[in-house]
Amino acid sequence: MCGIFACHHHPDVISFKPKALQLSKLIRHRGPDWSGNFIKNKTIIAHERLAIVGLDSGAQPLTNEDDTLALGVNGEIYNHVIIRRQLGGSYKFKTQSDCEVIIPLYQKYDIDCPNYLDGMFAFVLYDAVKDRMIAARDPIGITSLYMGRASTCPGAVFFASEMKSLSEVCDDIIVFPPGHVYDSATDKITRYFNPSWWDGNRIPSTPLDYKAIRTTLEASVRKRLMAEVPYGVLLSGGLDSSLIASIAARETLKAQSLDIDSESLTGVDEKGNLSGAASWPRLHSYAVGLPGAPDLVAAQKVAKFIGTVHHEHTFTLQEGLDALSDVIYHLETYDVTTIRASTPMYLLSRKIKAQGVKMVLSGEGSDEIFGGYLYFGAAPSKDDFHRETVQRVKNLHFADCLRANKSTCAWGLEARVPFLDKAFLELVMNIDPAEKMITKDRIEKYILRKAFDTTGEDIKPYLPDEILWRQKEQFSDGVGYSWIDCLKDTAEKFVSDEDFANPKPEWGEDVPTTKEAYWYRCMFDEHFPSQTCASTVMRWIPKADWGCAEDPSGRYVKSHLSAVPQ
């Protein structure tokens, strides 16, 4: 990942430049490898780079041949090799960066250019001839982006990868919506991503195809091995991360058997093959938890089975508590579920980066698209089941995508999420939801498990049966149940009954319902005191009418094997 900061139509951009560079520096953790900036007319783009593809020539902002177009990108474009070939020499590329293809796509397709990208991205592009800026975010919001305006600077519009870069200068900040593009020519944000499944009221009826699920997910993982630096996989021992790790291990071995020219572009060609890759001789996997945590035990089994070089990292309860304020600063949220799960991920990311790894694969998104959360077992009908999956996918950028992006970027590490690949989403979100439902005969995510069950096939198993059919754990549960218990107990000490009964007036109707939530909100306010910052936060809301408990921990769902007495 990288960090971008931009301002368009500033009345005195030259005088503003020193401040702009300070604001960009606030997100240098996202891109510690290099900093760059571009300034022309009344526009400035600043960039903090994490170099993964095009290491020697991909410094940003990127510009066209006559410097009339400037581009700042945070992301990875997996189909950039295909796009370069399709352009057929009509554009003179200056770098081997995967992101540079956005410039000729803009020249050819204008603001429809994001539709031609396969990847995760947030970008700003300035057209100096037209004095026009466009900005866009990937379809699901894997990559973070914020947009702001300032009453002290009428007419100007600001963009940044993280809210903290805008909070000092903007009194109006929004989360830039995924799948949308902004055009300064109209000053409007419009949706470019319109998949067939986006309307949750259109209930799909496509028959189930197990082979398609398997091959499409494998292709998704293969794309995401595009890198010129060592990479790894996050391995919790749960179904999702274990499948991604297993596929990645297989694909890494395949890539190593290719005769790869070190000067070739790294990416995926028209046949879905890697045109270049970099890795260690064996894939490395990473797990985190309290000593003896369920995830650590399961992760060891998976790592041994798939043959990764496994790294197990533990943390103490005190280390987790000590990190909370920093975690909230980086996450820019006070959502309980996100903070619980992000803290171990934040601690693990630091360990991973210290080992020289810049990119990891992760398993976010599976529970949303397959209806894997245990409360889905109470869905009254397949129509309701489908609508809930669509709603959860639409809100991923406030929850799991935010966690994966910002917990890792805090240490200059990039997380890629194969389950949220556009092609995979199009396939799975169009399956008849009756096939996804949790029943007496079908555990959650049954069809995903079944797709990778090689029983009766002449194929090496992807996972041990005890992992393939293991019941779901929330990540914050799997790292050790005492982690959540410790958070609750500590919140009781920090938040008095009197404080809890008298929430701050400025919170309005967004009142914490537990002392733990109250504690996190107070820490958030210390970092981001303005109300415009709080307005960017969405809290995870339980689906009470399906019996979803106020506490999002899986233990509080009756179907969980270790559920507490109700």
Residue 161 clears pLDDT 70, i.e. is over it: yes
d(CA 34, CA 229): 16
pLDDT of residue 263: 40
Q: Which residue has the tokens 């490898």?
A: 33
Catalytic residues: 2
Percent of the chain with pLDDT over 70: 91
Q: Is the pLDDT of residue 212 over 70?
A: yes
Any known ligand binding at 275? Answer: no
The pLDDT of residue 159: 98
Least confident of 49-63, 120-134, 206-220, 374-388: 49-63
Q: What is the pLDDT of residue 544?
A: 81
288 is in an annotated binding site: yes
CB count in 10 Å sphere of residue 12: 9
Give the separation between CA 138 and CA 116, rounded to whole angstroms. Answer: 11
Over residues 398-437, the pLDDT tens digits come to 999 999 999 999 999 999 999 999 999 999 999 999 999 9
Rg (CA), the chain: 23
- Of 226-230, 438-442, 490-494, highest mean pLDDT: 490-494
Q: So where are the chain's domains?
A: 3-191, 210-556
Per-residue pLDDT band for 295 (boundaries 50, 70, 90) equals confident
Query: Which residues, other chains included, contact 271 with Cβ-Cβ below 8 Å and sequence gap of 6+?
Result: none
pLDDT given for residue 556 in this prediction: 47
* Residue written as token pair 């069809």: 447
Banded model confidence at residue 258, pLDDT cuts 50, 70, 90: low
Residue 496 assigned as binding residue? no
d(CA 315, CA 334): 22
Strand-strand pairing, 132-137 and 157-160: unpaired
Task: Please provide the average confidence, as pLDDT, over all residues in the chain.
Answer: 92
pLDDT > 90 in the chain, percent: 83
The answer, yes or no, to whether residue 491 has pLDDT greater than 90, is yes
The CATH code for residues 210-556 is: 3.40.50.620
- pLDDT tens track for 300-334: 999 999 999 999 999 999 999 999 999 999 999 99
Average the pLDDT over 331-355 and give the result: 96
The C-alpha atoms of residue 58 and residue 1 are separated, in whole angstroms, by: 13
Does residue 563 carry a pLDDT above 70? no
pLDDT of 390: 97
pLDDT at 255: 78
Enclosing H/E stretch for 529: none
Rounded Cα distance, 64 and 199, in Å: 38
> 179: Cβ–Cβ under 8 A, 6 or more apart, which residues?
137, 138, 139, 140, 141, 191, 192, 193
Known binder of ligand: residue 246? no
Report yes or no: 360 and 331 within 8 Å, Cβ to Cβ: no
SS3 assignment for 14-47: HHHHHHHHHHHHCCHHHCCCEEEEEEECCEEEEE
Residue 475's pLDDT is what?
46
What band does 77 get if pLDDT is binned at 50, 70 and 90? very high
pLDDT of residue 550: 72
Helices (H), 410-451: 422-428, 446-451
Pairing of strands 231-234, 284-289: parallel
Burial class (CB in 10 A: 0-12, 13-18, 19+), 469: middle
**What pLDDT score was predicted for residue 480?**
65
Which residues lie closer than 8 Å to 390 by C-beta, 6 or more apart? 197, 198, 199, 200, 429
The predicted pLDDT at position 307 comes to 96
For position 260, what pLDDT does the model report?
A: 46
Of 425, 426, 417, the residue nearest 78 (C-alpha): 417
The strands making up 3-8's β-sheet, listed across from edge to edge, are: 34-40, 43-49, 3-8, 157-160, 146-149, 172-175
Cα dist from 344 to 82, 321, 322, 350, 476, whole Å: 37, 10, 12, 10, 8
Q: Which of 380, 499, 496, 504 is nearest to 437 (CA)?
A: 380
**What mean pLDDT comes out for the span 216-239?**
94
Work out the average pLDDT over 350-365.
96
On the question of pLDDT at 278 being above 70, the answer is no
pLDDT of the residue at 481: 77
Q: What is the pLDDT of residue 54?
A: 72
pLDDT, average across residues 16-22: 98
Check pLDDT > 50 for residue 69.
yes
Hey, what amino acid is at 357? V
Measuring CA to CA, how many Å separate 54 from each of 125, 180, 229? Answer: 19, 27, 10
Interatomic CA distance for residues 14 and 41, integer angstroms: 9
- Is there a binding annotation on residue 363? yes
Closest CA to 41 of 23, 5, 68, 78: 68
Apex 128 CA angle, 126 and 131, nearest 5: 85
Q: How confident is the model at residue 542 (pLDDT cuts 50, 70, 90)?
A: confident
Q: Tokens standing for 268?
A: 């995926």
CA 273 – CA 265 distance, rounded (Å): 12
Residue-level pLDDT at 298: 93
pLDDT of residue 558 exceeding 70, the answer is no
What is the reported pLDDT for 487? 96
Q: How confident is the model at residue 253 (pLDDT cuts 50, 70, 90)?
A: confident
**3-191 against 210-556: fold identical:** no
Which residues 6+ apart lie within 8 Å of 318 measured at CB?
Answer: none
We find that the CATH architecture of domain 3-191 is 4-Layer Sandwich (3.60)
